[in-house]
Amino acid sequence: MAERGEPGPGQEHGRRAPGRGRRRDRRVYLVSHPVLFALLAGTRRTPVRRLGRTVLVHAPEPYADALRRVPLDRLAEGTTAGAAQRATGTGGFLFDEDGADHRQARRDAATVFSSDGVSRLRPVWLEVLRRRFAPLAGGAEVDVVDVVAELSGASTAALLAVAVPAHTLTAAARAAAMTAARSHLPGLRWPGGARRDRAATARAAAALAELLGVPAADAGRASMLAVASINTTMAAIPRAVAWCADDGLWPAADSAGSRAALVSELLRVTAPSPVLPRVAAGAAELAGTRVRAGDRLLLVARHAARAGAPRPDPADPVPAAVGQLVFGTGPHRCPGARLAQAQLDDVLAELAPYRPVVTGARVDRRSALPGWARLTLRATR
């Protein structure tokens, strides 16, 4: 049965329905991370807002400045590095390194995620997409979340050269991220919750490392790549597909030229990692607000990249300098951006001929990043 508000058989699906995709996507935040969403929404009108020792950064310019100019404590609790260390049980590869180590790690990552590296992985996810989306042609419904779980697990296993079933690897990486993130999300906790969270995180990290079965010297790097790649992919692609279906954007996915702009716009508005938690290591100033050493910075990628354009528009995309902020900037730009763009590009290319609509959706209340637990599609062609 179609979800309430979905078009039925025989209705026109090519027309754009402005705002519908945005309304559905808001549900992801409202249901999965309501306290965090309320905090971000309540402070977004000010480019930079201080709340005690926490500085929230919403506007594009101070957001970029924070990543380029503010000295950061890369080992502090409550940062991406801290979450990485909890999720992997060891060093966080890129996230907790500094200086020469960080530069070398970035060079290594640039090789892994180069155009040649992405091209080597592409046949892996294309096989998954073509096999899993084929039932749409016969009128069957397909859960895109489950498809992406296989896609991300298979791609990551190939990236790391490990023989692990796709869904098994995806489940382990998501469990590690979920338990690591839970301890620093805003909200009320029962007494003893922090201790239980630490124990659960340690168990999930150990399970992931054992599953990967790589040498101990490579465990941190492999675990971190698995956690980062799988969780951002699971957050980004289903949300982007839902927005594309709801706002009638499939015609833009039909050709490579317009699809490239559509991919950038969809990643911009979904902002798979909506907040980058950091801790300042020294004094600085952001949009007139003083930052002190030890201040916690919440860099809101979701708002910085959406500035003035809350909906995707492939015919009139925002400047790249703003749109690409979802991947960070400068020395803190995500090395996996090329992979994320290539995978979403192929997903949209495979789906576009079917002109699918969303027939059912359920928010994932347990994931580390806002996303869907189920998102079923049905072809209209």
308 or 168, which is more confident?
168
Q: Which residue has the tokens 């500035």?
A: 307
pLDDT in tens, 23-81: 999 999 999 989 888 988 999 999 999 999 999 999 999 999 999 999 988 666 656 55
| pLDDT above 70 as % of the chain | 81
Nearest to 198 by CA among 179, 175, 184: 179
pLDDT at site 344: 98
Q: Which residue has the tokens 């911009």?
A: 268
Nearest to 79 by CA among 290, 281, 259: 281
Average pLDDT over residues 279-299: 95
Q: How far apart are CA 146 and CA 165, in angstroms?
A: 14
**Helical pair 219-246 and 144-160, crossing angle rounded to 10 deg:** 150
Rg (the chain; Cα; Å): 20
- Rounded to two decimals, the pTM is 0.86
pLDDT at site 193: 59
Count the Cβ atoms, other than its own, within 10 Å of residue 161.
8
pLDDT at site 179: 85
Q: Residue 5: is its pLDDT beyond 50?
A: no
Q: How confident is the model at residue 98 (pLDDT cuts 50, 70, 90)?
A: low
pLDDT in tens, 164-215: 999 999 999 999 988 877 656 555 455 665 677 677 778 888 889 899 998 8
Q: How confident is the model at residue 9 (pLDDT cuts 50, 70, 90)?
A: very low
pLDDT at site 189: 53
pLDDT in tens, 138-163: 999 999 999 999 999 999 999 999 99
Give percent helix, percent strand, percent coil of the chain, each to the nearest 5.
Answer: 55, 10, 30
pLDDT at site 11: 35
- Give the full edge-to-edge strand order of the sheet including 275-279: 48-51, 54-57, 296-300, 275-279
